[in-house]
Structure 1
Amino acid sequence: MSAVPADRLLQIDTIYLEPAATELARGQQVLARFPDARLVEVGSHWQIPELHGNAGNVADWNRIKRTHLVLGTLKSPRIRPNGRSSDFIAPSQANGCTMSCAYCYVPRRKGYANPITVFANIDQLLRATERHIARQGVKATPNQCDPRDWVYDIGENSDCSVDALISDNVRDYVELFARTDGAKASFATKAVNRELLDWDPRGGTRVRFSLMPRDLSRLLDVRTDPVGERIAAIDDFVAAGYEVHVNLSPVVVHEGWLEAWDELLGELDAGVGAAAKAQLAAEVIFLTHNEQLHEVNLGWHPRAEAVLWTPGTQERKRSQSGGLNVRYRSGWKGARVRELLALIERRTPWLRVRYAF
């Protein structure tokens, strides 16, 4: 069972659906999972006026994420280069999330309410990924993503641990990479779905448990599994055949932040065994926030903005998509990165940092 019961995260009473999705086996599986849901036909998962761009949804943010689902198809599966966390971004098997982390960038793309969208054309997505892997050939040069395998992120826009409660899309991806030499799936998660322990990943999937200090997580990681439960799951996932890494992210700088990270690293050191430590690695990602998301958050979770929106330490940056992001000022941030890396080296010298920014 998942650490947080599925019926707490998902109480689906409304499904917006593209007709084409209902003709596919995966679409039918999702509908069978929620037989009592009200069905609303839509032309596109991108164009649902009641959800996307409706400022009136701010007060209902969490309810909508819990009770609404979208069933669609990903019209043009694309594999994009990444180069930081993974070599490539695989076609998304889902978009959106039932959890409500206050810093999450995904809601910026679809507006005020972004519940999970499940893509029913999973066979097409898997074929596109397999063809791309075949074209890469053997990875000749090790890099920070992996020394041997091409790494494909399968959860860029969702949390795969929760997606797996809805359909077999994630399992299909895990099974693809379990049988494919020279390539590896990867996804970050803030949920502990122990049903994944019954699968057979054969080392072909990297699960990255996202961690931050407990008190900050209680404030910012809304509707996620507690950090302690994520740490407690690491040994079990390693034993089940997954590669396990940790995402130390986002790093939010506030009064006492370094002491809080010291405590968290101590919990991690005490909470995992030798087998996990031998293969654990970390990504360290400092907070990037967004002006539009800041305004949205003020409508449902203003306490979070007290630590996320700190103009005195942040600078604006225009994103590639045209959004106005804010990040910690470059020189000031560099000093904080060095402080945290020194702490990691001192507190958990066994924890290799793949990259920090």
Structure 2
Amino acid sequence: MKQKKFGFIQTGATLLASVAMLSSLLACGNTNSADGSADAAGGNSSAAPAKSPVSVKTAYAPFIGGIGIYALDDKKFDLDHNVDLKIGAFGATSPLMSVMTGDVDMAFTTLQSYLVSVNALIEEGSDITTLPKIVYLHNASTGADGIVADASIKSVADLKGKSVSAQYGEVTHYMLAKALASAGMTMDDVKLVDMGPGKGGAAFVAGSVDAATTFEPYLSQGTTSRDGNIIISTADMENTILDVVVVSAKNAAEKPEWLLNTLKAVEDATQYIEGDLDAAAELTADDLQVSAEEVKAMFPTVHLYTLADNVEGIGEGGWIYDTMQDVVDFYTSIGIIKEPFDVTQLVSTDFLWE
């Protein structure tokens, strides 16, 4: 994997020292001169001198959904928009906390993880209006996640009374509950085995559970090693597992020019991939530590949201609000969220340019 953009996330005492230094750097760098806080539709004065690219730090968990981020870097779409994106792998600090501390300028995280973190901060006394905001939809799983079951289980309905792995309170738990609901069932109808997707997938391959809520490569391995069936996947469950782009409430409110420009670079990369997957796969294989052929094989299991998707998804009347409420309702039903909150306060639509 290329090292130039990775490895800046730190923890412990080193993180505290770094945050102090980064705070002062970000205060200077991300202002991007006097007009750095221009509104999202605004541009630079034609008389203004050329400015150096603004360094923008982001954190991402490497997987096929990140293909756009890596293509953006390799093709320099960021520099085309006067930003220099620095990609870091998540460390011990959660994506939301990394944004709040200023360790990163924006984070790509699952909707479920984001909402659970928001809830924890609200329970600790934070005002919801001060918490990081969703400003863009980035990607959705369209087959990369699913439930693999043994040969005797042909459908979700057949899971009744069976042992099924999923990690309690995490995205796999939510997905399993949604899958069961599609067959008129609830979590009470199965024997939940509390395991993460990796351990659960391995347990299924080993024959320890009847079914596993997991992801690739365990889905494929399960179908071959145990003659199993993928009885449902995110290909059948639209917008169930998705990544959103999150920034601080301050940046969402002040609308710095670098933020809009970064999202435009993300859109450019998405359009590039959709137009030439072969070339994009060659570019990003190194970053994902797989072959170009494997990148192309995995790509159909994710959907990269475009600007048009974002207008439809987070614009007025968009589907994201019902999805967010559904996630909140689920976590409320299992006791993780004790007091539901207004999800509409967590989305900014100010970065949907024309």
- Length-normalised TM-score, structure 1: 0.29
User: Does 1 or 2 have the higher relative contact order (CA < 8 Å, sep 6+)?
Assistant: 2
Structure 1 or 2: more helix by fraction = 2
- Length-normalised TM-score, structure 2: 0.29
Structure 1 or 2: more strand by fraction = 1
Q: Which has the larger radius of gyration?
A: 2
